[in-house]
Amino acid sequence: MDEPRVVSALYWLSWIEFGATVALALVAIGVGYEFLADRIAAPFRRTVEEARQRQVQELNVALEQSRVRVEELRRDNLETQRRIQPRDVAPEMADAFVGALRPQSGQRFWISASASDGEQVVFAIRLWKLLVAAGWIPRDADTGITYGAALGLVVGANIIPGSSAKAVEAGKALWQALRGVDIAANLMPVATAAENDGIWINIGVKPLPELTITATASGEAKSEGAATATVK
């Protein structure tokens, strides 16, 4: 009576053991596959990781280049703003400018500018005040500035000294002082006018940003050779 039960138990036990064997085989296959897959996938993972790192490096380089470009544009913008601003001697440089011209105190001068160019007029007035502060004497008691229509294209501040040694020396000093504050100026040939002891300062248009101005000093200035002033 117990024999059928034993036979049945043996039957099911064989299937259970078979299933356990299959499961164990599957586990072994899974572990083996995982190990093999990891070995096979390793070079592909390295390729993907290297590509990701290159991409990150390229993005960092592009970001740095963008930062550099932005800084360049910022500096260019500041430089452009500086160039298009009306000519002036900055307040922090005014004392040095006046001090450089004070040794020529008593020098007679007059300034001319085009009445149709507001920038010329403003700069002419500013320069007149600085020269007076240095002890220079305007030709006319009121302002020493004459205004009129522009005769041709006059560029920069053109300094035309009289023929006296004093006027030539003062003209050279003014030319150097203007250059020292980054204002385009030309020291012109000595004038053979009646007012040989005076200096005529003819204010022309402000040079364009890329315009190059070359001036050759004559007379006393010529003893030191040609002088060139460049405005960019």
Mean pLDDT score of the chain, rounded to an integer?
A: 79
By the 8 A CB rule, do 192 and 142 touch? no
User: What's the confidence (pLDDT) of residue 215?
Assistant: 43
- Per residue in 7-23, pLDDT tens? 777 777 778 877 778 77
Instruction: Name the residue with higher pLDDT: 35 or 117.
Output: 117
- Per residue in 39-51, pLDDT tens? 777 787 788 888 8
- Per residue in 69-97, pLDDT tens? 989 888 888 777 766 678 889 899 999 99
Query: How many residues are present in the chain?
Result: 232
SS3 state at 112: strand
- Per residue in 163-192, pLDDT tens? 889 999 999 999 999 999 989 899 988 866
User: Tokens in use for 180?
Assistant: 């020292």
User: What's the confidence (pLDDT) of residue 231?
Assistant: 31
Alpha carbon of 212 to those of 71, 154, 171, 184, 220: distances in Å? 26, 13, 21, 9, 24
Identify the CA nearest to 156 among candidates 82, 90, 230. Answer: 230
**Beta strands in the chain, from DSSP E residues, in sequence order:** 108-114, 137-138, 145-148, 157-161, 185-187, 198-203
User: What's the confidence (pLDDT) of residue 99?
Assistant: 96
Q: Model's pTM, two decimal places?
A: 0.56
| pLDDT surpasses 50 at 230 | no
